[in-house]
């Protein structure tokens, strides 16, 4: 996944409110670590993609590690970090096999990266790996798409869009209520070599109930969990499209 998509990802995600998300994460981290400066905090960006949140937090002063399973996405992230003159360690790893060089103060995972974990046992494994590398008092902030979003907003529909630079995609969506698996069949049209080169990718995500995610977090060793409606301080609603979890050791 995200191999051919990497070069087009930022253009097609240009309306994502990364600035708001980064500001929210910064507020939570500053509240958790009141006695530490941003420069003293090492933050893991799990499933970091092309580094959109990674770079923004680095610009705020945090020390960052970015982990992603896609080499192409990491190449884009590395390029942006180089252009911004930011020293960020990017590592190619499957999040289920997370293996860092030392401990971290905080971990984040944005843009529904954890919905790609389709099995509860694997999700528990990811949470345990994150917990293993968190310092005492550490915090894990992540978002997940909800079943409402998959079932009611995406459903079995077809979406089309064109990025600012003319790159386009067609997205066929299929949601299976029994398995809670949402499948995206994506066809991209890239203007390379003077022509239009289509390529396809298939992505699958799973919906988890907030209660089940909390249970899995506690089973992994996290002591308390707060849940919010998206990147806000409001409680989740029945029609919430995205929920944010804040888990503490």
**163 has pLDDT over 70:** no
Residues 71-108: tens digit of each pLDDT: 999 999 999 999 999 999 999 999 999 999 999 999 99
Indicate whether 195 pLDDT > 60. Answer: no
DSSP output for the chain:
--TTTHHHHHHHTTTS-HHHHHHHHHHHHHHHTTTS-GGG-EEEEET-TT-HHHHHHHHHT-EEEEEES-HHHHHHHHHHHHHTT---EEEE--GGG---SS-EEEEEE-TTGGGG--SHHHHHHHHHHHHHHEEEEEEEEEEEE-HHIIIIIITT-EEEEE-TTS-EEEEEEEEETTTTEEEEEEEEEEEETTEEEEEEEEEEEE---HHHHHHHHHHHT--EEEEEESSSSSPP-TT-SEEEEEEE-
C-alpha–C-alpha distance, residues 190 and 43, integer Å: 34
pTM attached to this predicted model: 0.93
Q: In this model, does residue 166 exceed pLDDT 70?
A: no
Lowest mean pLDDT among 93-102, 142-151, 182-191, 238-247: 182-191
pLDDT in tens, 33-78: 999 999 999 999 999 999 999 999 999 999 999 999 999 999 999 9
């Amino acid at each position: 996944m995200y191999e051919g998509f990497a070069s087009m990802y930022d253009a097609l995600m240009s309306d994502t409110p990364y600035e708001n998300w980064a500001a929210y994460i910064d507020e939570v981290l500053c509240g958790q670590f009141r006695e530490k400066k941003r420069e003293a905090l090492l933050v893991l960006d799990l499933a970091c993609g092309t580094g959109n949140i990674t770079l923004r937090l680095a610009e705020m002063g945090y020390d960052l590690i970015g982990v992603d399973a896609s080499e192409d996405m990491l190449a884009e992230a590395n390029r942006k970090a180089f252009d911004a003159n930011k020293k960020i360690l990017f590592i190619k790893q499957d999040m289920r096999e997370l293996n860092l060089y030392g401990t971290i103060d905080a971990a984040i995972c944005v843009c529904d990266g954890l919905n790609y974990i389709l099995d509860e046992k694997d999700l528990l494994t990811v949470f345990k790996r994150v917990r293993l590398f968190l310092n005492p008092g550490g915090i894990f902030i992540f978002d997940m798409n909800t079943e409402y979003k998959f079932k009611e907003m995406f459903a079995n529909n077809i979406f089309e869009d064109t990025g600012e630079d003319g790159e386009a995609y067609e997205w066929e969506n299929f949601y299976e209520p029994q398995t809670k698996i949402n499948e995206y069949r994506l066809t991209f049209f890239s203007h390379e070599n003077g022509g239009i080169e289509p390529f396809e990718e298939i992505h699958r995500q799973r919906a988890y109930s907030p209660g089940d995610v909390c249970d899995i977090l506690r089973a992994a060793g996290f002591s308390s969990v707060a849940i919010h409606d998206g990147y806000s301080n409001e409680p989740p609603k029945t029609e919430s499209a995205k929920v944010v979890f804040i888990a503490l050791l």
